[in-house]
Amino acid sequence: MNGVKHIEGINSLRFIAFAVVFLSHTIPNTKFCYLGIDLFFVISSFLLTKLAFDEIEITGGFSKKNFFIRRSLRIYPLYYAVVLFCFLTIPVLKKSSTPLENHWMYLVFLSNFDTSNNPFPLKLLWSIAVEEQFYLLFIIISPLFKKFLYLVVASMILTSLTLTALLLKINVNIYPLISTYLLDFSVGMFFGYIFFKQKKINSLLIVMYLLVALPILFYIFTQNNYIDNYLNLPICIGFGLTTYITASISKSKWVNRLLFFRVLEYLGKYTYGLYVLSGLTITLVIGFIPLKNNIISMLLKLFLLIPVTFISYHFFEKPFLKLKEQFRNK
């Protein structure tokens, strides 16, 4: 789509989100995985909303069909390759005749409802299922974007808080449910829209917010535990602000000259593959190269994961990504 440009800084945040998740999966007794997942979802909805409004501004409408095809070309090839690999190899490696459970949930992106004891490489994919469910919701509500975006965002926040409170009362595990992450998606949509509109956020508002958010973050890290659903809202807003500010300042030439920023931007391009393939890499290292030192074990997993992801991106995923350009409205 002519006029759609890459947003600097988004890939850097994606890699940071991946790093948080990866550390929580490789270093015992760390419980901050959900913060990386929250940041992932905020970034995703921020970017999708910005691009959707770019499309509406340029073409006068939003193509649901093209959106779905573009997302499918990005997500499906590697996702199904990993799922099928697990289906075929894990029973053999485990030397078990017992088949893996709930195959169909992984094939139709409902694995966030899977309560079986399937291996980690499969269970890790629950967040991809939540993301796909959001894509469908995004398509359904897209006709409301032009006139009622703020109402949609407010409704999603209220729905998330209400459903989560009700589910907690009846002892339902809310962690893998899309209702929990409507907070992330709605906040990302809000900041994606104001980024599209180039509305400035008052610096005083940011300072006042940080005075609230930083103590909450300090509490989270010192308690090393999951946060209450109502505390999750200001954290999500913090991630939305972070995404907005990062995307804004990354336009500056001095930021682009920073080596650290350029490295993060480069690595962030491979974030999807790093995440989806990390489950297999972690499991294989644990199974075949057991190490007692957690730091060395984590570094080995990362050093093995990066080249595997690089190969996957350039020799398997990239041909599908090139096809996406055929499904942009011009």
Q: How far apart are CA 318 and CA 73, in angstroms?
A: 10
Neighbours of 170 (CB within 10 A): 6
DSSP-derived 3-state class of residue 31: coil
R_g of the chain, CA atoms, integer Å: 20
Q: Enter the pTM of the model.
A: 0.90
Question: Which residue ranges make up each domain of the chain?
Answer: 10-327
Q: Are 225 and 31 in contact (CB under 8 A)?
A: yes
pLDDT at 191: 94
Q: How far apart are CA 294 and CA 290, in angstroms?
A: 10
Q: How far apart are CA 256 and CA 164, in angstroms?
A: 41
Beta strands in 16-139 (DSSP E): none
Which string of b and e fits 101-126 if b means at least 16 CB within 10 Å? eebebbeebebbebeeebbbbbbbbb
CA angle 264, 231, 7 (to 5 degrees): 25
> At 20, which amino acid appears?
V
Nearest CA-CA partner of 15 in 4, 27, 23 = 23
Tell me the Ramachandran region of residue 29: left when phi exceeds 0, alpha when psi lies from -120 to 50, beta otherwise: left
For 96, 146, 160, 190, the CA distances from 157, given in Å and listed in that order, are: 45, 19, 5, 11
Helix (H) or strand (E) holding 329: none
**Terminal-residue alpha carbon distance, the chain:** 5
Q: How far apart are CA 145 and CA 281, in angstroms?
A: 40
Spell out the per-residue pLDDT of the chain, length 330, in tens.
444 567 889 999 999 999 999 998 998 877 667 789 999 999 999 999 999 999 999 988 999 999 999 999 999 999 999 999 998 887 776 655 566 788 899 999 999 999 988 889 999 999 999 999 999 999 999 999 999 999 999 999 999 989 988 998 898 888 899 999 999 999 999 999 999 998 777 777 677 667 766 666 666 655 544 445 556 787 888 889 889 988 988 877 777 778 888 899 999 999 999 999 999 999 888 877 878 888 898 999 999 999 999 999 999 999 999 999 888 765
Q: Are 195 and 188 in contact (CB under 8 A)?
A: no
Nearest CA-CA partner of 67 in 140, 154, 8 = 140
For 79, 219, 251, 266, the CA distances from 12, given in Å and listed in that order, are: 22, 26, 13, 8
The token pair that represents 327 in the structure block: 């499904």
For 147, 173, 229, the CA distances from 179, given in Å and listed in that order, are: 24, 11, 11
Tell me the Ramachandran region of residue 293: left when phi exceeds 0, alpha when psi lies from -120 to 50, beta otherwise: beta
Q: How far apart are CA 312 and CA 310, in angstroms?
A: 5
